[in-house]
Structure 1
């Protein structure tokens, strides 16, 4: 079983980051509001643009010398040039690098085969976009070894120093050593669920997924690419939300993973703050476990709890990754004395879901996936899916976002 216990804008983005540095208190909770809107791109129809960017490639020149990117908990981080060797832990940050045209620079990612295969299931539908994962290091194959970070000699670590300080064999001085001797940290893990940060990070700020992505875009000086993709996301969310039925008419749903013992489920909320919910929150389904307090990043329930809530739809997290067989999961539910009584099982509404560690491209596909699974009458039915296959082919007139546009942005052809 996959290890669920791994802890494991009218203004331009530059103006936004400056503002965040000044807002500390109230703005620190901006991600807690659960707002899935995307800042108005600065290169939108109002005639704005990203100062200093190359219109043909979406890249910013670096000849002007050092520049600064800012995000909690690091604060302002200075770079002499755009990074060439990029360390990531969770695939959401690798997906950000791909989206910004720098995916080829990634030198590590969590469980490369699982992360890379899943990412490529989505990229299959974007001409010219792919992620070469085969020779990448797994930063968590043996804890988080400092030796590996020294060996990789990266120019930036797209990982959260606060999170790193909690790993076995690490403390805050180890984090500072890596940051000073090798390369800066630039990541924010606890925005995943807006969970409390470790002791000593009292000013920790939370962001939504697209705010995180915008901050990472500053590292690569790719403001134009960020703004173009943010516009696709904003259009996708607004299109879906404009057609949603009243809350009382929406289906009840759960997001779960069947545990290895076959008798319990790892489970997550749908609509609470956090980047891990950036694909389900915009869809506004009624969370069957909304009142449950897991007391942590996730919880565990048994069949009795599932029967008590009896959701209309079951979204099986990790169901489109090579770590799970959604066909075997459905068969196991159907053959179980309690599972076979679940309405979602009887109605054939147990669906594969994506990954919680999502970046912007993954987020676009996973929002579309969920919309079709939850509201087939509104957004078109979710096609049949077979284990190991790419994200299913969907007729162009049923796309909820423009793949051609996304591919053009990633390839710098916009």
Structure 2
């Protein structure tokens, strides 16, 4: 990918306001007139917590991206070439393209992108990349790295380009104290609307949101009665332990499971962090009908190996999901709108094959499996046309 630099600019075209700790929480919708402010014919303001009002004088040409939901959003809006960095690019980029392979004319050039979190985020790195906008939550930066303060964040916004991100909406976790008073939580599609406003692609957003609403409505209207739904555990297998996540709790990490309303086998379990750790014995006590193996669609986990590891454990071999071959490759929690549509379809088929058609399975490292046209839950051509043509 050819990165777009800004070294030749005589001045910075992007102005961030309201990002300092204690600033007012202006986390509503985009300003009127499609996000354009009334102070200039070409300028516009995007309001999002915890940043507040972020003013742009022009559409960003380059974007500092960490988690892949923002890269997926950029691709969906026709601005994938703006992405200059990406968390775990070998995993994130290849997984994104595993979905995009089913969309004519859609792809993402991730090779050569640096991982901005490899070795820790530094101010020097941000100055070197010199992006027009940073799709990263300031609260995440300050909370996870002791070397950063809210003042450091403000300095980057003023000298390089604004921040725009909201990490803690993933599971509605607590923000850093410096941003606690200005924090708001958003759904995946609310976050996507904010990013669409940054790129001034409200038309694409509306078309994609309409397709999503139709897909979700179709799925929800065809769900079986709750009593007939399977019990499900959403986990990732570690070294003798399961990293566990809930299905139906608030947050965009659950964007592909919550609409499906399955019975969460781990619903009564609580954990203090973003995820929990449970043993094989605890999993056997819960004994779900289906195990959704998070990250199973990525090259980091081959679902065949995951199944073999469970089968080799005395407790794991007794799990109903293992015995009935219902340990399936699930998606990524860092999903943008394109990934969300595919992951909704995938999970609906994995949980309710009698309602939505059988899931054909997934081979590690391959593209998203081909689904017969009459069994697809959304129109591939329509999605690709919105992304490539904007209609």
TM-score relative to the length of structure 2: 0.89
The match for 2:301 is: 324
Displaced runs of 4 or more, over 2 A: 50-53
Match among 205, 216, 220 for residue 226 of structure 1:
205
Report the Cα distance in structure 2 between the residues aligned to 1:97 and 1:218, rounded to whole angstroms: 11
Q: Give 1:413 deviation, angstroms.
A: 4.8
CA contact (8 A) 2:25 2:183 kept: no
The match for 2:379 is: 402
The match for 1:188 is: 166
The match for 1:80 is: 57
Match among 176, 188, 191 for residue 198 of structure 1:
176
SS in 2 for 1:254: strand
Are 1:215 and 2:194 counterparts? Answer: yes
CA contact (8 A) 1:143 1:167 kept: no
Report the Cα distance in structure 2 between the residues aligned to 1:293 and 1:52, rounded to whole angstroms: 42
Report the Cα distance in structure 1 between the residues aligned to 2:283 and 2:268, rounded to whole angstroms: 14
CA contact (8 A) 2:34 2:202 kept: no
CA-to-aligned-CA distance 1:288-332 (integer Å, 9 cap, x gap): 011111112100000111110100000000101011111111111
CA contact (8 A) 1:320 1:353 kept: yes
The match for 2:135 is: 158
The match for 1:382 is: 359
Report the Cα distance in structure 2 between the residues aligned to 1:322 and 1:64, rounded to whole angstroms: 46
CA contact (8 A) 2:91 2:298 kept: yes
The match for 1:18 is: none
CA contact (8 A) 2:72 2:336 kept: yes
Report the Cα distance in structure 2 between the residues aligned to 1:167 and 1:306, rounded to whole angstroms: 30
Match among 292, 295, 316 for residue 315 of structure 1:
292
CA contact (8 A) 1:333 1:345 kept: yes
SS in 2 for 1:165: helix
Report the Cα distance in structure 2 between the residues aligned to 1:117 and 1:128, rounded to whole angstroms: 16
Report the Cα distance in structure 1 between the residues aligned to 2:242 and 2:64, rounded to whole angstroms: 32
SS in 2 for 1:255: strand
Report the Cα distance in structure 1 between the residues aligned to 2:25 and 2:163, rounded to whole angstroms: 20
Unaligned stretches of 5+ in structure 2?
1-23
Unaligned stretches of 5+ in structure 1?
1-22, 31-49, 54-62
CA contact (8 A) 1:144 1:167 kept: no
The match for 2:7 is: none
CA-to-aligned-CA distance 1:15-47 (integer Å, 9 cap, x gap): xxxxxxxx979x98x9xxxxxxxxxxxxxxxxx
Q: Closer, same or farther in 2 for the Cα pair 1:274/1:52, shift >3 Å? A: closer
Report the Cα distance in structure 2 between the residues aligned to 1:97 and 1:281, rounded to whole angstroms: 24
CA contact (8 A) 2:43 2:57 kept: yes
Q: Give 1:159 deviation, angstroms.
A: 0.8
Matches within 5 A, 1:94-173: 94-168=71-145, 169-173=147-151
Report the Cα distance in structure 2 between the residues aligned to 1:252 and 1:359, rounded to whole angstroms: 26
Report the Cα distance in structure 2 between the residues aligned to 1:79 and 1:237, rounded to whole angstroms: 33
Match among 157, 180, 185 for residue 179 of structure 1:
157
SS in 2 for 1:166: helix
The alignment covers a number of residue pairs equal to: 360
Report the Cα distance in structure 2 between the residues aligned to 1:236 and 1:51, rounded to whole angstroms: 29
CA contact (8 A) 2:203 2:390 kept: no
CA-to-aligned-CA distance 1:234-288 (integer Å, 9 cap, x gap): 01111011011121111000100000x2x11000000000000001000000000
Are 1:267 and 2:244 counterparts? Answer: yes
Q: Give 1:384 deviation, angstroms.
A: 2.5
CA contact (8 A) 1:165 1:174 kept: no
SS in 1 for 2:328: strand
CA-to-aligned-CA distance 1:109-129 (integer Å, 9 cap, x gap): 101111000000000001111
Report the Cα distance in structure 2 between the residues aligned to 1:272 and 1:343, rounded to whole angstroms: 24
SS in 1 for 2:143: coil
